[in-house]
Amino acid sequence: MKTYGAAIRQIRKNKSLSQSDVSNNILARTTISKIENNNITPTITTVESIIIKLDVTMDELRFIKNDYKLSTREEIIAAFFKLVSNTQTEKIMDIIGRCDTYLDNDPKDNLLEDIKIALKASLLLTNNEFEYAQELVKPIWERLEKIDHFSLIEVRLVCNILFYFPLDVIEKFVPRLLIMIDKYNAFDKSLNSLKAALLINTASIFMQHNSAITTSSLNAAIIISKDINRFDLLASAYYLQGVNANDPSLIAKAKNIFLAIEKDAILFQFEKEYFPKDAIH
């Protein structure tokens, strides 16, 4: 792993910039030289001033500093958010093991502890042990519901474990999550996909309990999915809308989209849950 100074020097040279090019009214060229040669440790304010001149973000600087690799912690978090199903048992077990190894050295990392708990709960769910899974994640939602403003990682975490929460907790969390996603939208446009997925999941959870929430969530999800060209999410919303409204034409539309984009596995899961006798193979 490089020092910040070495990473800054590498980026500057890759862009064919001199130290004078990077200096400004705040930083002298000699200061840039001392930072690059590790004679002084820059403050966060100094680093931010430099990366503006280099046209890179802080995340990109850290990535380059780590030899174009994610840190061990970042790799675990990325692997967790890439999971698409609790049936991916081998991947889940692997991430749990990586969490254990990391937590041996840093037992106070709340996020990785939460991720490990969420993954263990997902394994319980595959064995239909919903109550045990819910009890396992209960400390997470009890801690998070005391927080007024979630960080971006906390938003993603809650969206991943929302299914385990009781309905009253979900009803309380979802509006807060939607507000926080909208706040972060300017920072990360990929959150539009997360928002659509959250609305779809909320609709499926409340399908049998609150038709108004289901309908409004799906209508909003359809608009977002169309806007960002996420046809898998669009088809999911149409399918649930068809089930909720008992409208075969919407279900047929969803099927056609799933098949056109070769997402047969997602269609199979919907068929298995809502029309098990008609599930495709």
Per-residue pLDDT of the chain (281 residues; tens, 9 = 90+): 889 999 999 999 999 999 999 988 778 999 999 999 999 999 999 999 999 999 999 999 999 999 999 999 999 999 998 886 777 899 999 999 999 999 999 999 999 999 999 999 999 988 889 889 999 999 888 888 888 888 888 888 888 888 888 888 888 889 989 999 999 988 888 899 999 999 999 999 999 888 889 999 999 999 999 999 999 999 999 999 999 999 999 999 999 999 999 999 889 989 988 887 655 44
87 CB-side CA count, 13 A: 3
Amino acid 277: pLDDT: 63
Report the distance separating Cα 281 and Cα 279, nearest Å.
7
Amino acid 202: pLDDT: 93
Q: CA angle, corner 122, sides to 69 and 124, nearest 5?
A: 140
Residue 193 tokens read as: 């996909």
Please, what is the angle between helix 110-126 and helix 72-82, to 10°? 30
Amino acid 11: pLDDT: 96
DSSP calls for the chain: ---HHHHHHHHHHHTT--HHHH--SSS-HHHHHHHHTTSSPPPHHHHHHHHHHHT--HHHHHHHHTTSS--HHHHHHHHHHH---TT-HHHHHHHHHHHHHHHHH-TT-HHHHHHHHHHHHHHHHHTT-HHHHHHHHHHHHHHHTT-SS--HHHHHHHHHHGGGS-HHHHHHHHHHHHHHHHHHTTT-TTHHHHHHHHHHHHHHHTTTT-HHHHHHHHHHHHHHHHHTT-HHHHHHHHHHHHHHHT-HHHHHHHHHHHHHTT-HHHHHHHHHHH-GGG---
Amino acid 79: pLDDT: 94
Global pTM?
0.79
Report the distance separating Cα 96 and Cα 117, nearest Å.
9
Amino acid 279: pLDDT: 52
